[in-house]
Copies of this chain bind each other. A is one copy, B any other.
């Protein structure tokens, strides 16, 4: 059975559209250089990201009211710096400044052009755990055009909670089955499918710097190579 044409495509952003690991590491490297720190900045990117899911889980499980991801990132930076033995090197204002690294992430080579082509097929938005504030700045930095910024701020809850996908579709005035969630992560797409959305997958083998392609662990509705290929599938 052919996949029905979605009326909107909503994207995971960190990893799927932009290279968070390289962007965070490059910003960390600037801060390291200014402080004479001789350490691998990719280790900070990885340590910071390791705190990502636990930080959001407290909100998802109702142990904490919703706060935008920027605040969770800032708290997680404290944990990451302590883990790496760098607590002494960063005062609070410098941590606040470094926290903006998440707004300065390079797009993958196909992202900007692919998203633009995909706009011919339907609405193109985010369904990210990043806040509107973060996504707006990142879109400017990475040259991305979104019809709407949806996701965690829309739902006041974090993916993979089903409400995050459903609220994003509802904000567009669409049924879940009219919207395709696009991501390179199996767990994100599995949750979106469970919430009733269509699913679009492609791999990002460089997300973790390994070059190792993480395969899809089931059949998603559309499986392609990248965003340009997704656009081509829908005539863009």
Contact = CB atoms under 8 A, between A and B. Distances in A.
Contacts of A123: 136, 140
A171 B139 contact: no
A172 B136 CA distance: 8
Interface in A159-180: 171-174
Contact of A147 (B125, B139, B150, B172): B139
Interface string A92-125: 0000000000000000000000000000000101
A173 B140 contact: no
Contact of A133 (B139, B140, B172): B172
A103 to B, nearest CB: 9
Contacts of A154: 132
Given A145-B145, A149-B148, A132 B172 contact: yes
A171 B147 contact: no
A207 interface: no
Contacts of A70: 173
A148 B173 contact: no
Question: Which of A136, A153, A172 neighbours the largest number of chain B CB atoms within 10 Å of its CB?
Answer: A136
A131 interface: yes
Contacts of A173: 68, 70, 131, 133-134, 137
Nearest to A150: B132
B153 A171 contact: yes
Contacts of A149: 148-149
Contacts of A136: 123, 125, 147-148, 172
A123 B141 CA distance: 12
A139 B149 CA distance: 14
Given A132-B148, A140-B147, 14 more contacts: A68-B173, A70-B173, A123-B136, A123-B140, A132-B150, A132-B154, A133-B171, A133-B173, A134-B173, A136-B148, A136-B172, A137-B173, A145-B145, A153-B171
**Can you list the 8 inter-chain pairs with the closest CB atoms, starting with the nearest?**
A133-B173, A132-B171, A136-B147, A136-B148, A133-B172, A148-B149, A132-B148, A123-B136
6 contacts: A70-B173, A131-B171, A132-B172, A133-B172, A139-B147, A148-B149
